[in-house]
């Protein structure tokens, strides 16, 4: 299933950032295609009275530029705003579109939140609510159309969660049709990120990895006031619906091979065990463009190959096509297969993330 890619930013009220700074950042992000804003009404060190004053001002501008804001709450935040589960209008009046439920609420209370009369969406903490919790929340009569979820971010180094846990939770939330969001850091701070192993990646690279996970709907930059470079990198990745895999060409790459291999949206074939595979079909009448044998050498893990003209009479009878493969393991040379490029090692995780029928693109990098 292809999920639309959405992006967001984070702002912090009642702290060192002025209303003017936050609004300028919001306006800049909106122009770059960002639609979502995360904030907290209970962050340690924030001034609750300033939060109550600043939120309506900021929320007004958020709505004017076509974005929406979500804030995390706990029973403490409910008390600050004079709200209850049965009356969430104070948050609605403050311009909030969604409430992210932190610790302190039972599964029954979560279910009740989804039926709030203010029409606010309810966002679960993807680190705290598991498959069994989701079953109980839905069984209690939750309105699933009002539910979404997001992971935490982890400012403290070495405290973030694992990529495997993210994938596990994404599978659970996807099963129930609940959109799931995650955070990346900024290149200036490297603090508010979800996955620990992504902390030292560029924000763009971390975003590429997250969007490759089935079930991840939105990526937000967790650190405040990210640079234009970071905003642009994340926005570029969200603008496409395929996984981009970087590769370095082998010497002697021909124009025919380049035309088959690079900058094309490919659809992964199902049922393959040893490789990520795509079949490139030449237009009718252009069979003369089939690839001539060249560089038919050993295929190491991560090598990219194109079947040459020798395979047109093989078992697959590909008389007007060439298969492109990215190999998962080392394999011997084959006279019918040209080795044309190598995937960057750090992109092999993306190769394995491409599921059958999902789009990907191989991009030439020096």
Encode pLDDT of 124-136 as tens digits: 999 999 999 999 9
Q: CA-CA distance, 202 to 233, in Å (whole number)?
A: 9
Cα distances from 40 to residues 11, 93, 291, in angstroms, run 8, 16, 57
Nearest to 308 by CA among 297, 73, 223, 352: 297
Q: Is the pTM of this model over 0.85?
A: yes
Under 8 Å between Cβ of 100 and 74 = no
**pLDDT score recorded for residue 366:** 86
Averaged pLDDT, 56-79: 91
How far out from the chain centre does Cα 346 lie? Answer: 17
Q: Is 329 left (phi over 0), alpha (psi -120 to 50) or beta?
A: beta
Give strand ranges (E) for 223-356. 243-249, 266-267, 275-281, 303-307, 321-327, 337-343
Domain positions in the chain are: 6-240, 245-364
Beta carbons of 251 and 349 less than 8 angstroms apart: no
CB-based contacts of 188, cutoff 8 Å, min separation 6: 223, 226, 227, 230
Q: Which three-class secondary structure state does DSSP give residue 179?
A: coil
Dihedral angle computed from the Cα positions of residues 60, 64, 68 and 72, in that order, rounded to the nearest 10 degrees: -20
**Average pLDDT taken over every residue of the chain:** 92
What value does the mean pLDDT take over residues 194-223? 96
Q: In the predicted model, is pLDDT for residue 79 greater than 90?
A: no
Share of the chain above pLDDT 70, in %: 95
Instruction: Give percent above pLDDT 90 in the chain.
Output: 78
d(CA 92, CA 16): 25
pLDDT at 17: 87
Q: In the numeric block, which tokens belong to residue 165?
A: 């846990």
Contacts of residue 129, Cβ cutoff 8 Å, sequence gap at least 6: 107, 110, 137, 149
Class of the CATH-defined domain 245-364:
mainly beta
Work out the pLDDT band at 1, boundaries 50, 70, 90.
very low
The listed CATH number (3.30.420.40, 1.10.10.410, 3.60.15.10, 3.20.20.70) that belongs to domain 6-240: 3.20.20.70
Strand 180-184 to 36-40 pairing: unpaired
| Residue 192 to residue 224: CA distance in whole angstroms | 9
DSSP 290: S
Q: What are phi and psi of 262, to 5 degrees?
A: -100, 150
Average pLDDT over residues 215-240: 96
Residues 6 or more apart whose CB falls under 8 angstroms from that of 164 comprise none
Mean pLDDT computed over 126-151: 96
Q: Give the model confidence (pLDDT) of 315-343 as tens digits.
A: 455 567 889 999 999 999 999 999 999 99
Choose the most confident range, by mean pLDDT, from 98-112, 268-282, 300-314, 327-341: 327-341
- Per-residue confidence band for 45, with pLDDT thresholds at 50, 70 and 90: low
pLDDT at 99 over 90: yes
């Amino acid at each position: 299933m292809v999920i639309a890619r959405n992006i967001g930013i984070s702002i912090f009220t009642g702290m060192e950032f002025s209303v003017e700074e936050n609004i300028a950042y919001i306006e800049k992000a909106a122009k770059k295609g960002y639609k979502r804003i995360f904030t907290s009404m209970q962050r340690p060190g924030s001034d609750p009275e300033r939060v109550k004053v600043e939120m309506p001002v900021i929320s007004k501008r958020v709505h004017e530029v076509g974005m929406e804001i979500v804030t995390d709450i706990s029973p403490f935040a409910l008390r600050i705003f004079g709200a209850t589960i049965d009356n969430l209008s104070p948050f609605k009046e403050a311009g909030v579109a969604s409430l992210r439920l932190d610790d302190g609420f039972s599964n029954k209370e979560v279910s009740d939140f989804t039926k709030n009369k203010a029409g606010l969406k309810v966002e679960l903490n993807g680190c705290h609510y598991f498959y069994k919790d989701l079953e109980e929340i839905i069984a209690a009569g939750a309105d699933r159309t009002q539910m979404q979820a997001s992971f935490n971010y982890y400012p403290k180094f070495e405290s973030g969660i694992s990529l495997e846990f993210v994938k596990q939770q994404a599978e659970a939330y996807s099963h129930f049709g609940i959109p799931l969001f995650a955070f990346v850091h900024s290149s200036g701070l490297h603090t508010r990120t979800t996955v620990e192993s992504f902390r030292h990646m560029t924000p763009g690279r971390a975003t590429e990895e997250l969007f490759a996970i089935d079930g991840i709907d939105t990526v937000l930059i967790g650190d405040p006031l990210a640079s234009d470079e970071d905003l642009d990198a994340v926005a570029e990745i969200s603008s496409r619906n395929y996984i981009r895999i970087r590769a370095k060409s082998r010497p002697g790459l021909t124009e025919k091979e380049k035309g088959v291999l690079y900058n094309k949206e490919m659809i992964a074939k199902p049922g393959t065990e040893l490789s990520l595979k795509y079949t490139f079909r030449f237009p009718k009448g252009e069979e003369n463009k089939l690839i001539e044998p060249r560089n038919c050498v050993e295929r190491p893990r991560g090598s990219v190959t194109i079947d040459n003209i020798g395979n047109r009479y093989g078992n697959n009878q590909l008389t007007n096509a060439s298969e492109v493969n990215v190999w998962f393991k080392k394999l011997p040379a084959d006279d019918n297969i040209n080795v044309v490029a190598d995937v960057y090692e750090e992109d092999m995780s993306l190769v394995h993330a491409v599921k059958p029928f999902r789009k990907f693109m191989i991009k030439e990098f020096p």
